[in-house]
Structure 1
Amino acid sequence: MSKRTEKTIVDIAEELNLSVSTVSRALNDHPNISTRTKEKVKKMARKLGYRPNAMAAGLRSNRSRTIGLMVPRISMFFPATISTVIQNKLQEHGYNLLICQSNDSLEQEIALANTLYSARVDALAVSTTLYTTDFSHFDIFRDNNIPLVFFDRVPGTHDVKVVKGDDYRGGLAVTEHLIEKGCTDIVHISGPLSCNLYVERVAGYKKALQRHKIPFKKSRVFYQELTKENALQACARIFAQKPYPDGIFAANDTTAITILEYCRKINVRVPEDLKIVGYSNDPRAEIIRPSITSVDQFPALMGEKVAAALLELIQQPKSTPQQFSQEIIPIQLIERESSAADAKSRTPAKKKQKQG
């Protein structure tokens, strides 16, 4: 079989007996080319299976019209929502989004940074891995004046734009909510302290205990990746002996849901015996029963702010050096059944279901 050759604008020009420059302008909707000629050229391009060489065009214009986005895991609710919003916003301005996931591997994050730089992206937005403490693999973007925005999981200091949630206030709000509901022995299941999110949430947790003169106990805080498997291991330790805690602050909703299911198996009643609060306001938190109190981080708003920051930086002169600036996205505690003062709040709902 003969190898198929890639068609070029030269082939289109020969088929239509036009100059190569006319074909090029027609394909790019140049105002000096008539609508009739544009339609004729584009029809022939489709017929021949012509594909524009975006990389070559990018080299000529010094713009690829492509922006890189790196997230830990696209399967999680929070980064998935942010990624969708960013893509939609950038497409409105004629940019394509190249989405990569690090799988929370620092080695993979470093490799992806090099790949995206080689792909000549016009800008890069990054939510780092849980274990990224050295951010020097992103210096190649900053050193070459390629716009760089960190969001959610971010460095403490770097000459870049940062968009992050108010995690300190989130940790404070959750813990104070549990205290207001009568809890005095509150477990906190945190992520690793190598990540800014959990440093700040733990700080908020500690501050709330201090405000209400409740002693901080190291044995009541767990630092781990927030997976279902790790949550089950934590539960085995928490409920190995009495007294059980009367409140648990889980740093994500997967952990909160896992704790709820574990309690059901060992006959610990939620919220009567134990109150649970999660984090991120995953849609699952609302539909499980009892529904789980959680913290809304407004991922759509964060996505909009990240997209706006990228576009603003791209439009600046390339010689303009980036400087550190920070934008804080607010949080909101969404109270549900898992932290209700007692079981009475659930009784009307049950009666209503029986009547239906």
Structure 2
Amino acid sequence: MSKRTEKTIVDIAEELKLSVSTVSRALNNHPNISTRTKEKVKKMANKLGYRPNAMAAGLRNNKSRTVGLVVPRISMFFPATISTVIQNKLHEHGYHVLICQSNDSLEQEIALAETLYSTRIDALAVSSTLYTTDFSHFDIFKDNHIPLVFFDRVPKDYKVKVIKGDDYLGGYKVTEHLIEKGCKDIVHISGPLTCNLYVERVAGYKDALRKHKIAFKKSRVFYQELTKENALAACEKIFSKTPYPDGIFAANDTTAITILEYCRKINVRVPEDLKIVGYSNDPRAEIITPSITSVDQFPAIMGEKVANALLDLLQQPATTPQRYSEELVPIQLIERASSAASVSKPKTTVKKKAK
């Protein structure tokens, strides 16, 4: 089977009896080339199946006009929304975006960093895996003055631009909200503490309990990947014996929805017997019954901030050293039916008949 031969601008030039430089300018919409010539060149390029070699062009001008983006899972609502905003914003400024997912695998994240560096991207934005604690595989970008931005899941002490949500405040507000609704025994289902998100949310949870003089109990906190399967396993433990908790703070909405479905099966009423609050304001939280109180992390705002940070860094001189700076994206508690105040039914009294 013969190997496909790539057509080049030389082939186009020969077919049209034009110089290679004229063809090149026509393909790049140079103002000095007539519209008629541009149309002829592009028509012949399509006929021959010519494909521009962006990598070769990047080698010539030391710019690929391509930005790398690494997220844990593109299927999740939060990173999917952020990725879309980043891609659209950068496209407006003439950049292409290579979106990669690590699947929360540190091994894949390391391999992606190497691949994206070899691809000669102009900048990189990363939301790290749950288990990334050593970020040295990104040193090659810093050392070579390639703009690097971390967002959402970020390193603690790594000298680059960091954009993250106010997760401490989110954890605090959720816990205080449950307390204000009358909860005194609040379970927190957290992610692993190798990730900054959950370190900060747990800290907010603890401080809210402390402020309201409610004892923190280690047995009431679960540290796990926030999957449906793990949420069900946690439910088995939580509801294996009484007393049941009167509030649950779930660190994502998938977990909150799973708890709600489990409670329905064991006849625990939400919000009358148990109040539930999730996190990230996934669209599913609003349409399920009862709708779930959650924390809006404003992914569109975060995506906009990440894109702007990348564009700002790309405008700086190539030798500018990267410095640590942190930018917080606000959060907002969205109150819904799953944590509504319980309405006690009035007792019915039977009037005695007069004798």
TM-score of the superposition, structure 1-length normalised? 0.95
- Letter of the 1:67 counterpart: V
C-alpha separation between the residues in 1 aligned to 2:109 and 2:46? 38
Residue 255 (structure 1) aligns with:
255
Residue 348 (structure 1) aligns with:
none
Q: Is residue 26 from structure 1 mapped to residue 21 from structure 2 by the alignment? A: no
C-alpha separation between the residues in 1 aligned to 2:214 and 2:5? 74
Residue 352 (structure 1) aligns with:
none
Q: Deviation string for 1:151-177 (max 9, x for gaps)?
A: 000001111000100000000000000
C-alpha separation between the residues in 1 aligned to 2:216 and 2:262? 25
Fraction of identical pairs, as percent: 85
What are the residue-to-residue correspondences of 1:81-230 with 2, within 5 Å?
81-230=81-230
Q: CA deviation at 1:3?
A: 4.2
Q: Is residue 38 from structure 1 mapped to residue 35 from structure 2 by the alignment? A: no
Q: CA RMSD in A?
A: 0.9
C-alpha separation between the residues in 2 aligned to 1:107 and 1:130? 12
Q: Is the 8 A contact 1:170 1:201 kept in 2?
A: yes
Q: Is the 8 A contact 1:86 1:304 kept in 2?
A: yes
C-alpha separation between the residues in 1 aligned to 2:339 and 2:112? 41
Q: Is the 8 A contact 1:271 1:341 kept in 2?
A: yes
Residue 349 (structure 1) aligns with:
none
Where 1:192 maps in the other structure, the secondary structure is coil
Residue 297 (structure 1) aligns with:
297
Residue 352 (structure 2) aligns with:
none
C-alpha separation between the residues in 2 aligned to 1:58 and 1:199? 41
C-alpha separation between the residues in 2 aligned to 1:329 and 1:6? 47
Q: Is the 8 A contact 1:170 1:295 kept in 2?
A: yes
Q: CA deviation at 1:2?
A: 4.9
Q: Is the 8 A contact 1:246 1:273 kept in 2?
A: yes
Q: Which portions of structure 1, spanning 4 or more consecutive aligned residues, are displaced by more than 3 angstroms?
A: 1-4
- Letter of the 1:237 counterpart: K
Residue 13 (structure 1) aligns with:
13
Residue 349 (structure 2) aligns with:
none
What are the residue-to-residue correspondences of 1:41-52 with 2, within 5 Å?
41-52=41-52
Q: Deviation string for 1:44-78 (max 9, x for gaps)?
A: 11111110111000000101111000000000000
Q: How many residues align?
A: 344
Q: CA deviation at 1:274?
A: 0.2
What are the residue-to-residue correspondences of 1:316-335 with 2, within 5 Å?
316-335=316-335
- Letter of the 1:101 counterpart: Q
Where 2:113 maps in the other structure, the secondary structure is helix
Structure 1: gaps (5+ residues):
345-356
- Letter of the 1:10 counterpart: V
Structure 2: gaps (5+ residues):
345-355
Q: Is the 8 A contact 1:271 1:343 kept in 2?
A: no
TM-score of the superposition, structure 2-length normalised? 0.96
